[in-house]
Amino acid sequence: MADPNSLASYFDFSQVDWQALWTATGETVWMTLFSVVFVFIFGIILGLLLYETTGKHSAGAFILNKITAILVNVFRSIPFIILIVLLIPITKQITGTIIGPRAAMPSLIISAAPFYARMVEIGFHEVDAGVIEAAEAMGASKLQVMWKVLLPESLPAIISGITVTGISLIGYTAMAGVIGAGGLGNLAYQDGFQANQNAVTLTSTVVILIIVFIFQAIGDFTVRKIDKRSVA
């Protein structure tokens, strides 16, 4: 067995349990995708709420906007590793467990959704006000404006936003792994760091990087495909 302090130890791949790596990769991908779906849904709803209540004169809208803004800012600001610990009782209530990929979901979603909501809100604000006015002049209802104009016209921002959020979620899953959520972070920490097997840490890192690159590539490709704002 290679000396754990030598550089050569990084390349002693006999340490790597490929089956465990495969399982951990599956867990990381599962956690990421599942949380991305929820973050996408909650983020858009929150983003719409922020957008619709900004700059309105009615007291209801003002209060709703302030409450949403405060919640969004607070949860966006709590460091993830603290949030996950803070949410343990709530996690237990919702998922019935505090260990494994499922237990990581509430904190992953709660930390990322507000962040994404802000990006969605910015995307909505970038939609040409004239286009919204045109839709209103056609007799569109508020819901129709959202569904037929606001969402399609801000789609590139929404997609690139979820790509960025998804990538930070991959990072969060690794952190969640350290306190027992499974996945590649867990593998790198327990089998790699604690068991002095540098090759496991390196392999886990490479796999995480590959996941990130694939995610980024899919996101970029989709944005290019749907963005018709400039001549192709």
Partner 1 sequence: MIEFKDVSKIYHTRQNTITAVDKVSLKIGNGEIFGIVGYSGAGKSTLVRMINSLEPPTSGQVLIDDVDMTQLRGKALRQTRQEIGMIFQHFNLLWSRTVRQNIELPLELKGVSKVQRAQKAAELIDLVGLDGREDAYPSELSGGQKQRVGVARALANDPKILLCDEATSALDPATTEEVLELLLKINRKLNITMVVITHEMHVVRKICQNMAVMDSGRIVEQGSVLDIFRYPQAALTKEFVQEEVNPETEDTEVILDELLAKVPDGLILKLTFHGEQAKLPIISEMLKKMPEVQLNIIEGNIHQTQGGPLGNLYLQLRGNSELLEQAVAYLKQMRVDMEVIRSGRSK
The alpha carbon of residue 51 and the mean position of all alpha carbons in its chain are separated, in whole angstroms, by: 20
Give the shortest CB-231-to-partner 1 separation in angstroms.
5
**Which string of DSSP letters, residue by residue, matches 144-195?**
HIIIIIIHHHTHHHHHHHHHHHHHHHHHHHHHHIIIII-HHHHHIIIIIIIT
Residues 6 or more apart whose Cβ sits within 8 Å of residue 74? none
Give the shortest CB-138-to-partner 1 separation in angstroms.
4
Which range touches partner 1 (CB under 8 A), out of 25-33, 42-50, 132-140, 191-199? 132-140
Closer of 82 and 131 to partner 1 (Cβ): 131
Select from 23, 144, 168, 216 the one that contacts partner 1 (CB under 8 A): 144
By CB under 8 A, residue 1 contacts partner 1: no
Give the shortest CB-141-to-partner 1 separation in angstroms.
6
By CB under 8 A, residue 57 contacts partner 1: no
Phi-psi region of 74 (alpha: psi -120 to 50; beta: other; left: phi over 0): alpha
By CB under 8 A, residue 62 contacts partner 1: no
DSSP structure class, residue 9: G
By CB under 8 A, residue 125 contacts partner 1: no
Which residues contribute to the site for partner 1 (CB under 8 A)? 128, 130-131, 133-141, 144, 148-149, 152-153, 155, 226, 228-231
